């Protein structure tokens, strides 16, 4: 293929990568001149926040372990009071996309520097994107203020992440790269990152399924998650994300699980329109049928197999098709009602993608 014309924007940020990298945290924050950090996390990850606080000693001003899914503004306001009371000069988040969402929401309001220590594969640490919720409405924004200044990837902190969550959060990450391969804003640099991100995650997951505490598989998965996060930051998304957004927003389906179920079907829908992306996927997934390979990867990780299993009623398929057709959205293959109905029915029933 020809290289063509494109725009590529690289984002600033320092990454410290490797099993045991958390030992460099004190040194890293001292180098940034930070001395009063607020450590934020989700309730279930409070022990990780305590560990961070113990490592940095006097440089921890306070811990806030109340981060919640979808970054509710009410929670952000509570944490903001702690920032003010302690005159915090930095934000450290540890955990998944929910912990990071709170840190980003605080950075948006205070412009404080952020250190992100991700322990899932969602990839939010690489993006200037923030989704917040207020009164059940979700808004998404892009602002350089919400991009973390420093990211520490330490695979040792991910050994307790259950196989199921590892799988769904990895498929969420892979979805960013799959859509980046055929995005309207795609470019050769992003495609390179996307291919390597998918290859790394897909090759790491079976090792994690076999042994949750396999450090080298965990490292490979984190490397893939990093690259997939860069793809979300750098390219617009298409049908797959549109469907997941509609299913999450209209029927409250869970974020990562919905991505895991829908991705093979959305890819099968787009396949005829994106031959080059399919050729790349055949290579990086080492499979003749990339959509089927992604579905099998999910099953290996014990991911849910169907939208029915996630609680969607069969009659909700039609509503989803209506809502998807109603708001125009760029996609490599035009949205055709009949084909879309078939795709959603397959995702609902959990059949092979076609």
Residue with tokens 């009071």: 81
Among 39, 79, 232, 266, binds ligand NAD (CB under 6 A): 232
Kindly state the DSSP code that residue 353 receives in the 8-state scheme: -
From the list 184, 186, 335, 181, the residue with the least C-alpha distance to 246 is 335
Chosen residue from 117, 130, 151, 307 binding ligand NAD by CB under 6 A? 130
User: Where in 272-345 does DSSP place strands (E)?
Assistant: none
Q: Shortest Cβ distance from residue 42 to ligand NAD (Å)?
A: 5
Contact yes or no for 108/130 (Cβ under 8 A): yes
Task: Give 143 or 309: the residue with its C-beta nearer to ligand NAD.
Answer: 143
Q: 């790394």: which residue's tokens?
A: 200
Taking each helix axis from N to C end, the angle separating 73-85 and 97-110, rounded to the nearest 10 degrees, works out to: 60
Among 50, 36, 132, 34, which residue's Cα sits nearest to residue 84?
Answer: 36
- Size, binding site for ligand NAD by CB under 6 A: 29
Q: Quick check: 313 binds ligand NAD (CB under 6 A)?
A: no
Angle at the Cα of 274 (from 171 to 269), degrees rounded to 5?
60
Q: Residues with Cβ < 8 Å from 286, sequence gap 6 or more?
A: 293
The least CB distance from residue 229 to ligand NAD, in Å, is 7
Establish if 353 lies at the interface with ligand NAD (CB under 6 A): no
Hey, which residues between 39 and 58 contact ligand NAD (CB under 6 A)?
42, 44-45
Residues 160-219 within binding reach of ligand NAD (CB under 6 A): 160-161, 165, 169
246 binds ligand NAD (CB under 6 A): no
Q: Does residue 95 belong to the site contacting ligand NAD (CB under 6 A)?
A: yes
SS3 67: coil
Smaller CB separation from ligand NAD, 248 or 350:
248
- Contact predicate 149/115, CB 8 Å: yes
Of residues 143 and 314, the one with the C-beta less far from ligand NAD: 143
Q: Is 103 in the site for ligand NAD (CB under 6 A)?
A: no
Smallest distance, ligand NAD to C-beta of residue 249, A: 11
Nearest alpha carbon to residue 307 among 258, 256, 251, 354? 258
Taking the complex as a whole, the smallest distance from the CB of residue 167 to ligand NAD amounts, in Å, to: 11
Residues that bind ligand NAD (CB under 6 A): 42, 44-45, 69-70, 95-99, 101, 119-120, 122-124, 127, 129-131, 157-158, 160-161, 165, 169, 232, 255-256
């Amino acid at each position: 293929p020809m290289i063509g014309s494109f725009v590529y924007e690289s984002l600033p940020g320092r990454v410290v990568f490797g099993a045991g990298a958390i030992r460099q945290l004190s040194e890293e924050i001292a180098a940034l001149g930070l001395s009063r950090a607020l450590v934020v996390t989700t309730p279930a990850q409070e022990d990780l926040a305590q560990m961070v606080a113990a490592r940095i000693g006097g440089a921890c001003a306070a811990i806030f372990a109340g981060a919640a899914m979808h970054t509710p503004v009410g929670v952000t306001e509570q944490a903001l009071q702690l920032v003010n009371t302690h005159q915090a000069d930095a934000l450290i988040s540890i955990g998944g996309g929910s912990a990071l969402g709170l840190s980003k929401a605080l950075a948006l309001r205070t412009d404080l520097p952020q250190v992100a220590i991700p322990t899932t594969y969602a990839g939010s640490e690489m993006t200037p994107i923030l989704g917040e919720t207020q009164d059940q409405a979700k808004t998404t924004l892009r602002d350089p203020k919400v991009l973390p200044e420093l990211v520490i990837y330490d695979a040792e902190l991910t050994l307790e992440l259950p196989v199921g969550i590892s799988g769904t959060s990895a498929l969420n990450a892979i979805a960013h790269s799959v859509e980046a391969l055929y995005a309207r804003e795609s470019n050769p640099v992003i495609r390179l990152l996307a291919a390597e991100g998918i290859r790394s995650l897909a090759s790491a997951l079976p090792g994690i399924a076999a042994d949750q505490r396999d450090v080298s598989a965990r490292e490979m998965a984190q490397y893939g998650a990093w690259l997939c996060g860069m793809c979300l930051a750098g390219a617009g998304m298409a049908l797959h994300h549109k469907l997941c957004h509609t299913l999450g927003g209209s029927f409250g389906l869970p974020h990562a699980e919905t991505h895991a179920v829908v991705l093979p079907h959305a890819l099968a829908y787009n396949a005829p329109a994106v031959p080059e992306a399919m050729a790349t996927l055949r290579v990086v997934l080492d499979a003749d049928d990339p959509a089927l390979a992604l579905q099998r990867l999910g099953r290996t990780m014990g991911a849910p197999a169907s939208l029915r299993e996630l609680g969607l009623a069969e009659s909700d398929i039609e509503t989803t098709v209506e809502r998807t057709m109603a708001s125009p959205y760029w996609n490599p293959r035009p949205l055709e009602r009949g084909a879309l109905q078939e795709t959603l029915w397959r995702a609902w029933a959990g059949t092979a993608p076609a």
